[in-house]
Structure 1
Amino acid sequence: MQNSTNSPSKRRDVAGATIVVTGASSGFGRGAALKLAAQGANVVLGARRAAALEALAAEIESAGGSALAIGMDVSNARDVGRLAQAAVQRFGRFDVWINNVGIGALGLFWDIPIEDHARVIDVNLKGLIYGAHVALRQFREQGFGTLINMGSIDSEVPLAYQTSYAASKAAVLSLGRSLREELRLAGNEDIKVGTIMPWAVDTPWWTHAANYTGHEPRMLAMDDPEIVIDAIVRACVEPKEEMPVGWISHASNVSHHIFPDLTERMSANIAHREVEKASPLAPSTGAIYQPMTDTATIDGGIRARMKREDDQDGPSK
């Protein structure tokens, strides 16, 4: 067991830490990997799009950083184990594991094929369980570590048109809470677990989601990805049990504890109005089964499209 004074819980920054980031090819994962590497961390990148990961690793290393790219699918337990093994082989250990991958299926529950609901659970819940399992085994062996799970405000407030996604994110929050208690009971005080809970954010997630709403995806007052990326970086040294991100997430979290039924009804009404505002779109499985090749970006371009829709004063439905 290594000396726990090297624990991320005692770090003031990420310099010199080895950090595993799943879902690193786009969105939060890509942004966090770039920022963590710029601050001196070794980053281990995992995602299905191996070519995009290799390009990201090359970008990081050309800027003076250190990166390792591993093509993998979090819904495959062997792939997750291979990612952890590669990190240890290259860097001797990993200090932080960021369970970032998440997919969605948009639409009324009964309109979405059951296979798509199952895929959401395979990735969003089982994939995070696989990541947590390999990470905590490594952390217990070395005596320290930080597990960061990507939840959502849906972890607290279930949202209409995202039923299986919301269910998976509620499970992610429960997973983190239970793990914290088990670690306490086992005396592993230098192993930390935190859950990040953002509101809707403008990343490629919306384009990647399976969509059976009949409309382009959109949501009220989307946040910029940068605030979530910054929260992920902070969590690497200051993890908290629950980390709402952005004022809407904070407000929704508080409101749901005080007025749960009203908050759920208001959130559902918002989701319904946003669906009705959007431009028509044919049903699609998005990228939940096969990755897209042209969306390896941080920003999803959703706010720009929403502005065009709103400027048109009501697109055809």
Structure 2
Amino acid sequence: MVITGASSGIGLVTARMAARRGARLVLAARNEDALRTLCDEIRDAGGEAAFVVTDVGRRDDVARVARTAVETFGGFDTWVNNAGVSLYGQVWDVSLDDMHRVFDTVFWGVVHGSRAAVEHFRDSGRPGALINVGSVFGDRATPVQSTYGSAKFAVHGFTDALRVEVNAAGLPVSVTLVHPGGIDTPYDEHAESYLDERPARRGMLYPPEAVAEAILYAAAHPKRDLYVGSQAKVLATVANIAPKLTDRVMRRYMYWSQRADRPSRPREASALWHAGDDLRERGSHEGWVRRRSYLVAASTHPVATGTMALAAAAGATTLVLRRMRDRW
């Protein structure tokens, strides 16, 4: 399994969880010290892992990740495009260079990784899974993070088109798009900010383990889309049905909910242009972090969920019939 953005947040949690389940890993990120420490941790626990210092915005770096997987483990069965970084600020305030940099990582990183993965599966003839980590903001963009949302919109569109092309070509590749909602990771600490207040999440958040569970499920079970957190599914649905209402909610809620009552850090301290302070799974948010995502549980355990739903329906029907009989 190849995982980009493996040195923190979702990528770090996914790597640790996959290693515990016996996966052999090739880990990619920009922070060499963090990757080396993580690989040592996995090997000390009896697992197998290699790392490649990678800027996913560079095609040659990503090609080197694929070569390392082939040379070290004979290939890979799963490729996870997870690397990402955000940019906070009004459209007219942020620099075009910073906008391009976000697209290099968030969008072009997915393109480079997807092409490397599909080429490997096509040339080797072995079945595989390509998993692209999108975002709730790829279904409905938010103010203040317009560049990140636009890049994720591009990821969603690219993934949809690639899925159709892979199927039309008869390639044995499952292509999954994961839609995380608000997740408790160091995402905001890594982001570059033009705001006076420090970026932070308020409101409801989900643990990174919920996204990791979705990713690992997609690695073994072909799935078109997986939503992490009901907020992601609800927002995508409501945005399509009532776009003007969604605009008003965004205007009222999203400015407040994306900043903390603390001064912003200097822009040069962000991880936009260089590796961040990694090996952290969680962030310093001000929201309510849920223990799990029931939507992920329902999606990854459909039989159990269906059985429970049928049992609940049967129980409700029995109760109604009893009340009707008592009245008669």
Aligned to 2:307: none
- The superposition leaves residues 29-70 of structure 1 with CA deviations (integer Å, 9 ceiling, x where unpaired) of 110000001001101100001111011011011111110111
Distance across 1 between alignment mates of 2:181 and 2:247: 14
User: 1:103–1:120: 8 Å Cα contact kept in structure 2?
Assistant: yes
Distance across 2 between alignment mates of 1:227 and 1:305: 15
Superposed, 1:49-60 pairs within 5 Å as 49-60=31-42
Aligned to 2:196: 214
Superposed, 1:166-315 pairs within 5 Å as 166-188=149-171, 190-219=172-201, 220-275=203-258, 278-285=261-268, 286-292=270-276, 294-303=277-286
Distance across 2 between alignment mates of 1:62 and 1:165: 37
Distance across 2 between alignment mates of 1:176 and 1:304: 31
Aligned to 1:3: none
Distance across 2 between alignment mates of 1:92 and 1:196: 27
- The superposition leaves residues 167-217 of structure 1 with CA deviations (integer Å, 9 ceiling, x where unpaired) of 0001101111001110121112x2111111111212111100001121111
Letter of the structure 2 residue corresponding to residue 146 of structure 1: A
How many residues of Structure 1 are paired with residues of Structure 2 in the alignment? 286
User: 1:214–1:283: 8 Å Cα contact kept in structure 2?
Assistant: no
Structure 1 range deviating more: 237-246 or 159-168: 237-246
Are the structure 2 counterparts of residues 243 and 260 from structure 1 closer, same or farther at C-alpha, using a change threshold of 3 Å?
farther
Partner SS, residue 109 of structure 1: coil
Divergent runs of 4+, >4 A? none
User: 1:202–1:303: 8 Å Cα contact kept in structure 2?
Assistant: no
Aligned to 2:116: 134
Partner SS, residue 50 of structure 2: strand
How big is the shift at 1:262?
1.7
Letter of the structure 1 residue corresponding to residue 95 of structure 2: P
Match of 1:81 among 63, 67, 71: 63
Distance across 1 between alignment mates of 2:98 and 2:116: 26
Partner SS, residue 111 of structure 1: coil
How big is the shift at 1:77?
0.6
Partner SS, residue 196 of structure 2: coil
User: 1:157–1:264: 8 Å Cα contact kept in structure 2?
Assistant: no
**Greater Rg over alpha carbons, structure:** 2
User: 1:213–1:275: 8 Å Cα contact kept in structure 2?
Assistant: no
Partner SS, residue 119 of structure 2: helix
Partner SS, residue 290 of structure 1: coil
How big is the shift at 1:259?
1.4
Partner SS, residue 18 of structure 2: helix
- The superposition leaves residues 136-158 of structure 1 with CA deviations (integer Å, 9 ceiling, x where unpaired) of 00011122211111100111111
How big is the shift at 1:238?
2.2
How big is the shift at 1:117?
0.6
Aligned to 2:105: 123
1:159 equivalent to 2:142? Answer: yes
How big is the shift at 1:230?
1.4
Q: TM-score, normalization: structure 2?
A: 0.83
Letter of the structure 2 residue corresponding to residue 251 of structure 1: V
How big is the shift at 1:276?
6.2
User: 2:24–2:49: 8 Å Cα contact kept in structure 1?
Assistant: yes
How big is the shift at 1:295?
3.2
Aligned to 2:295: none
User: 1:223–1:246: 8 Å Cα contact kept in structure 2?
Assistant: yes
**Could you list the runs of 5+ residues in structure 2 that have no partner in the other structure?**
290-328
How big is the shift at 1:304?
7.5
Distance across 1 between alignment mates of 2:9 and 2:260: 24
**Could you list the runs of 5+ residues in structure 1 that have no partner in the other structure?**
1-18, 307-317
Are the structure 2 counterparts of residues 51 and 170 from structure 1 closer, same or farther at C-alpha, using a change threshold of 3 Å?
same
